[in-house]
Structure formats: structure tokens, C-alpha cells
Amino acid sequence: MSFLEVRNLSARVKGGGPLLRDVSLTVEVGEVRGLVGESGAGKSMIGKAILGILPKAVEITGGQIVLDGSDLLTLPPAARRVKVGASCALIPQDPLTALNPSRRIGVQITDRLVDILGWTRQRAEERALALLGEVQITDPTRVLRQYPHELSGGMRQRILIASAFAAEPKLIVADEPTTALDVTVQKQILKLIAALQARHGTALLFVTHDLGVVSKVCQNLSVLYAGKVVEDSAVADFFRAPKHPYSAALLAATPKYTDPSAGLQPVPDAVIAAVRAEVEHG
Amino acid sequence: MAEGRFKVRRRAGLRLWLSAAWLILLVIVALFAPYIAPKDPLEQDLFAGRLPPFWVHGADAAFLLGTDSLGRDVLSRIIFGTRIALGVAVVSASFTCIIGAALGLLAGFYRGWVDVVVSRFIDIWMAFPPVLFSILLIAVMGPGLISIILAIVVIDWTRFARVIRAEAMAQGAMDYVASARVAGRGRIGILLREILPNVLPIIVVLLTLEMGIAVIVEAILSFVNLSISSDDPTWGGMISEGRTSIHQAWWVLVFPLITLFLTVLSFSQLGEGLKDRFDPVLR
């Protein structure tokens, strides 16, 4: 049995069109699954639905989200919060807004361990210190006393990563964790996430639109188009021979640094028309 | 860059300290009014009416800032007026702040029907003309300190509620709130530990501004004789009385006016200065 199993999940904007259509995907213990798609395909919505932080305007219309054996959607809200809080964490997209600007870094990491998991403050502080070391922050004692605005975007993302791993969650949803960063910093952050994931054996749902990132950190991936999963493959198979024509077009559209003269290949209109017809009617 | 930042901070510091000094002085004056005031503020001496302040020819050194037309000491009346001005400012601004901030936070953070109810209520409330509203309120309840405080609270809570609602809404959309939710924090916990600290600088600014406004409102209501009895010294009452004799005795009007002006200015500057102190990004 998978650690996370999303079964036939559908969601829509209240009084509007569908956002997710019959989405099914699984994340095994310790697996890294990529979730790719273009903007608006519903990648982040899946992550938010799992973590229970969907915007109020979005409602789930059907399906199940089974986390560690229990369906989150049928749990009462308080029980769901406890369950998710104890076993999941989020690495958010924008490190600039993901830390509370008026609280010190240290408190923000330890607070949840103390208040929600009932650790002693000393144990939580030691843990925070160790984690900042793990995400390669020099002088962690000083950083713990600083405010978010005193740190660079890369530093903040490291802290968010440390914070996500702090309570030893079994599943982390990384919602485009490198999108808001410089390309040079992106690579370091990716390596860091991969290293921590391997060391802690955490399952990771990696939401991104960057196939290059997927090839580096993920084992399996789901390709999303207009709220529907059109392909679910192992990463190695996907890059060798994508099953769905849309996936193939997406792969072909990725710029190739090894062959700059090839230029950019947009996804052909015919492919888009076909996949749209499939998603909307099939 | 570093130098510019330092400069800004030092200027803000000066502003903060000057206004704080004036307000602290007022607090001391208000607390120890009977010991500081040279005369009884109610004592009339018709033979010593309209004496000018000490530096003008014909002054009596016993009345530093002169006397009004009934021969009451202007300085002593200003000193005792401080009690009413500060009392009204602190009490009414605090209540206004508590009510407005609580409703604003709830509406901005919980959204949904709470927001609809609070926002519509604010809209309706703000459609009443405030001056007429307060005069009406006091006419119904009768003049007095409690009526003034109540009038200020009842009218001005919308000022807090609207601004804080907007800020709570903006903070609620930030990723750190989502992270806290994932971590398992309840809504009250998020409201108090994540959102409130970020709204606090604005609350502080609004609170001090509101104290300034309360001083003005109290003065206005005294001016139109809706405050406490006209014997009791209030700044607004003094200005009102001084108005009738401005050509013969300008000091009766000017000194309380200056005091009022400095006090209101200090409250607003204190707010700005404190905001800079509270805001970690500017600190």
C-alpha cells in the first residue's frame, strides 16, 4: 500500500469550471514523484488539496486522498489537521513570503515542534541548529536570531527546507521550490533537497514545470494537462520514450543546451487540440 | 546605502523622542496637577480679569500665562485640562482599538460570512455623518465624560476595522500562513501568533493617531458645549471662551490652542516613530 494515494480526485472553482479531473497518483514511502504541467494545469492544486490548504473558492467534488491508510477528505477537520501536521510538510514556492517577517528564524522553526508536537524547547532548538547545519548555513546560531529580511532568498529557501524536514515528516510537498530563485542558486537548492530527501528517506511530491529538474531529482512523474493526468511513468522511461503525444511534445519543447541552434519547439497546435479533446470528453 | 539608512533611523529617533518627551510631560502634569498648578483652576477673581502673560506690560507675576475674563489662571486651567484630554484620549482610543482591531482581524482572516457582516456594517456605519452622530448621541445621553468617550468609540471603531481587515487579509494570503496551517496550527493560533505580530505596527500607529483624534474630538465637543460642565477646565472649553474675547485677551485662546496642537502632533509623530521601531524590516 502506498503512503499517499490520490484516487479520482476532482475539484472545481465554486460555481465555475473544473480544476482537477479524476486525478489519481501514488507516492510510495521514500519515493520522489514529479508533478509537471504547464501553468494552470492544476499542479499546485493537487499539493494544496493533499495538505488541506486549498483556497476557499475551490471545492473538491469527488475522489479520495488516502494518506497512510486514512482518507483525509472524510476525516473531521481537527483530526485531519493533526494527521497532516504530524506526517506532512510543505516547501513553498516563494521564500520571500513563506517566512513570517516579524518573527525570528529560530522561533519559526522551533515553535511548531514545541507547540504542536510537544517537544521541549531545548530539544527543538538543538534540532533547529542541527538542521541549519544540514542545509549548509554557516553560523547557524546567529541566523536563528535573525529576521527573514536580513537573509537572502537562497538562505531563506534553505531555512524553509530545514523547517520542512524539522519534524521528520513522511511526505513533503515541494511546490516549485526553485522557481523564485536565481538559476545559480536553484542548482544548489535542488541538490540540497535531493540530499536531505535521501538521508531522511522522506517521500517527496515535487511540483514543477521544469523537466530538467524532474530528471535530476525524481524517480517517477505524473504529467498534468488541464487538471487531468495524461501520463504516469518512471522518469527513465519518460525521457527515453514518453507514452503520451502531449508528453512527447512537452519534452521536445524543452530547450536543449547541448544544441542551441535547434531553437525552441513550441507544442504543436494539433497536439494541444488532441489532448484538450481527450481531457474534456474522455 | 548603509549611511542613508542610518540617517533615516536617526531622524525617526529624534521625532520619536521629542513627541514622547512632550507626552510624558503631559502625563506627569496630569497626574500631579494639584501639586504643579500654581492656582486653583476654578477660583475666580474678577479684579484680576484678563491679565496678560508674564512678559507683556501690565502682567501679574503670579499668573504666568495670564487670566481669562473671570480672572481664572490660564496656566492652571491648561494643567487641569490635561487630565481630561489625556483621560479621554487613552480610554476612548483603547476601546476603539480593541473593538475595531478585533472585528477587523476576524473579518480579514476568517472572510466568508463574518467578513460580509462586518464589512456591510462598516459601510452602513460610515454613511452616518460623524459630527451629527456624536452630537445626537450626546444629546440623547446627556453631556459628560462617559458620553464623549462612548461617542468616540462608537464612531471611530470603523477606522480601525477597515484598515486592519485589509492588512489581515493581505497577511492571510502569505505562504507562511499556509505553512502554519500545514504544520497543524489552528485558526486562532494562526491569527494570534502569525498574523497579529505583523498587524501590530499598524495597530500601534492607528492607536496613537486615534488618541490625537480623541483629543481633537473632545476639544470640539467642549467648544460646542457638549463636553462636561463649562466650569471644569478643558482645552476646548477654554478655546471656546477665549474666542469671545480674542481682541482683548488673545492668550486665553492661544495657549490652550498651542497645547492642543502640540499634543495632537506628538501623538501622530509618536505613532510614526513607534511603527519604525516595531517593524523588523525598518528596524
Give the nearest chain B residue to A172 (CA atoms).
B182
Q: Is residue B23 a contact partner of residue B33, using CB atoms and an 8 Å limit?
A: no
Instruction: Name the grid cell of B87.
Output: 483621560
Determine the 3-state secondary structure of B203 from DSSP: helix
| Shortest Cα–Cα distance, B8 to chain A (Å) | 18
pLDDT tens by residue, A137-153: 999 999 999 999 999 98
Across the range A23-37, mean pLDDT stands at 93
pLDDT at A273: 86
pLDDT at B11: 58
| Ramachandran region, residue A231 (left: φ > 0; alpha: ψ -120 to 50; beta: rest) | beta
- Report CB contact under 8 Å: B181, A88: no
Nearest CA to B147 out of B207, B226, B77 is that of: B226
pLDDT at A66: 95
Sketch the domain layout of chain B as residue ranges: 2-278
* pLDDT exceeds cutoff 60 at A171: yes
Domain that holds residue A213: 4-281
Mean pLDDT, contiguous 10-residue spans, chain B (283 residues): 48 82 94 88 81 80 82 90 92 96 94 93 89 84 86 91 94 90 89 91 91 90 76 85 86 92 93 78 60
- Report CB contact under 8 Å: B281, A51: no
Q: Residue B49: exposed, middle, or buried by beta-carbon count in 10 A (0-12, 13-18, 19+)?
A: middle
Class of domain B2-278: mainly alpha
- Report which of residues B9 and A2 the model is more confident about: A2
**Length of chain B, in residues:** 283
Number of separate domains in chain A: 1
Among the ranges given (A22-26, A253-257, B34-38, B209-213), the one the predictor scored with the smallest mean pLDDT = A253-257
- Report CB contact under 8 Å: A86, B184: yes
pLDDT tens by residue, A51-71: 999 988 899 999 999 999 899
Across the range A30-49, mean pLDDT stands at 91
Chain B, window 99-158: residues with a beta carbon less than 8 angstroms from a chain A beta carbon: 111-112
Across the range A154-161, mean pLDDT stands at 92
Is any Cβ of chain B less than 8 angstroms from the Cβ of A53?
Answer: yes
- Report CB contact under 8 Å: A88, B186: no
CATH of the domain at A62: 3.40.50.300
pLDDT at A156: 92
| Average pLDDT, rounded, for chain A | 90
Helix (H) or strand (E) run with residue B144 in it: none
Q: Is residue A205 a contact partner of residue A171, using CB atoms and an 8 Å limit?
A: yes
- Report CB contact under 8 Å: B182, A51: yes
What CA–CA distance (Å, rounded) separates B196 from B105? 8
pLDDT at B4: 45
- Report CB contact under 8 Å: B193, A111: yes
| Shortest Cα–Cα distance, A73 to chain B (Å) | 15
pLDDT at A204: 95
For the CA atoms of B35, B38, B42, B44, the dihedral, rounded to the nearest 10 degrees, stands at 160
pLDDT at B29: 93
pLDDT at B283: 53
What CA–CA distance (Å, rounded) separates B144 from B133? 16
Chain A positions in Cβ-Cβ contact with residue B191 (cut-off 8 Å): none
Give the nearest chain B residue to A150 (CA atoms).
B281
Q: Is residue B204 a contact partner of residue B16, using CB atoms and an 8 Å limit?
A: no
Is any Cβ of chain B less than 8 angstroms from the Cβ of A145?
Answer: no
Chain B positions in Cβ-Cβ contact with residue A160 (cut-off 8 Å): 179
Across the range A212-240, mean pLDDT stands at 91
Band of pLDDT at residue A3, cut at 50, 70 and 90: very high
Q: Is residue A192 a contact partner of residue A106, using CB atoms and an 8 Å limit?
A: no
Nearest CA to B26 out of B279, B270, B277 is that of: B270
